């Protein structure tokens, strides 16, 4: 039983009939059913068709094999970078934690120092009330100052270093720029950072 699109007009024997996908069928009567596409083909066109498919497969194989080799090389290049990036993130994470603790401790000392400075301003009041024999007021101020002084930690300037010198500031800037260079190099070497296509789509969709 010939398929419906197969010509039974024998006057057209040997002529091609388009099967719609660039394949041709002819009206030779010895038919072979092709396993890959279910088309009925004559011996001549079947072997032609088969070798075309084989060539296609060979091309596909060589493309896939070449791609696989490229991918292995890409992995070999990226794996050690991944390790370096993770290592750097861990290092920066620990240092950031340390710096945040240092910031909190420094802020706390600054608050204590500010409180100590403002106690200094109250001494004027105590002096004045002593001079004018306002002893009740002097007692109140002195009680307050005594309690505050007993509570407050002693901050001695000699326990601390100097404000950052221009050399130290330069060192910090150099360190930042070195880190910038390292991260830039890693970014370029690893093929850069692509924009997330899903995020980009969402962004596009959300536009009116
Ligand atoms: Zn086929
Ligand atoms: Zn044929």
Burial tier of 41 (Cβ tally within 10 Å: 0-12, 13-18, 19+): buried
Most distant CA pair in the chain, distance: 137
In a domain, 133, yes or no: yes
Query: Shortest CA distance to 35 belongs to which of 50, 20, 55?
Result: 50
Distance 203 CA to ligand 1 centre (A): 45
Residue 25 is predicted with a pLDDT of 53
Query: How many Å lie between the centroid of ligand 2 and the Cα of residue 56?
Result: 20
Q: Assess if residue 89 is contained within a domain.
A: yes
Asked whether residue 9 is domain-assigned, the answer is: no
User: Does 31 reside within a domain?
Assistant: no
Task: State the ligand closest to the CA atom of 39.
Answer: 1
Q: Flag whether 201 is in a domain.
A: no
Is pLDDT at 64 greater than 80 in this prediction? Answer: yes
Distance 159 CA to ligand 2 centre (A): 100
* Ligand with the closest atom to the CA of 41: 2
- Sequence-distant (6+) residues with CB within 8 A of 109 are 155
- Residue 107 structural domain: 43-152
In a domain, 15, yes or no: no
Within a domain: residue 27?
no
How far, in Å, is the centroid of ligand 2 from the Cα of 30? Answer: 9
- Work out the average pLDDT over 50-68: 96
Q: Which tops the pLDDT comparison, 172 or 203?
A: 172
Q: How many domains does the chain have?
A: 1
What pTM value is reported for the model? 0.65
**Distance separating alpha carbons of residues 141 and 132, to the nearest angstrom:** 14
Q: Is the pLDDT of residue 18 over 90?
A: no
Report residue 183: phi and psi, to 5°.
Answer: -70, -40
State which of 48-52, 128-132, 167-171 shows the largest mean pLDDT.
167-171
Decide if 164 is inside a domain. Answer: no
**54 CA to centre of ligand 2 in angstroms:** 18
- What is the 3 state secondary structure string of the chain? CCCCCCCCCHHHCCCCEECCCCCEECCCCCEEECCCCCCEEEHHHHHHHHHHHHHHHHHHHHHHHHHHHHHHHHHHHHHHHHHHHHHHHHHHHHHHHHHHHHHHHHHHHHHHHHHHHHHHHHHHHHHHHHHCCCHHHHHHHHHHHHHHHHHCCCCCHHHCCCCCCHHHHHHHHHHHHHHHHHHHHHHHHCCCCCCCHHHHHHHHHHCC
Using CA atoms of 127, 128, 130, 135 in order, give the dihedral in degrees to the nearest 10: -120
- pLDDT at residue 1 tops 70: no
Of the listed ligands, the closest to the CA of 51 is 1
Ligand that comes closest to the CA of residue 12: 2
């Amino acid at each position: 039983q010939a398929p419906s699109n197969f010509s039974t007009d024998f006057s057209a024997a040997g002529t091609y009939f388009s099967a719609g996908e660039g394949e041709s069928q002819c009206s030779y009567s010895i038919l072979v059913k092709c396993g890959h596409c279910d088309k009925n083909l004559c011996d001549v066109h079947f072997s032609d068709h088969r070798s075309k498919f084989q060539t296609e497969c060979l091309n596909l194989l060589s493309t896939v094999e070449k791609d696989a080799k490229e991918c292995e090389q890409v992995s070999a290049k990226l794996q050690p970078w991944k390790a370096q990036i993770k290592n750097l993130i861990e290092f920066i994470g620990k240092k950031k934690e340390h710096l945040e603790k240092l910031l909190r401790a420094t802020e706390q000392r600054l608050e204590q120092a500010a409180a100590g400075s403002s106690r200094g301003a109250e001494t004027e009041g105590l002096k004045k009330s002593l001079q004018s024999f306002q002893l009740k007021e002097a007692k109140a101020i002195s009680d307050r100052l005594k309690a505050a002084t007993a509570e407050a930690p002693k901050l001695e300037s000699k326990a601390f270093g100097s404000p950052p010198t221009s050399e130290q500031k330069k060192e910090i800037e150099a360190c930042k720029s070195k880190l910038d260079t390292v991260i830039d190099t890693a970014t370029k070497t690893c093929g850069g950072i692509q924009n997330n296509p899903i995020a980009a789509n969402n962004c596009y969709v959300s536009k009116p």
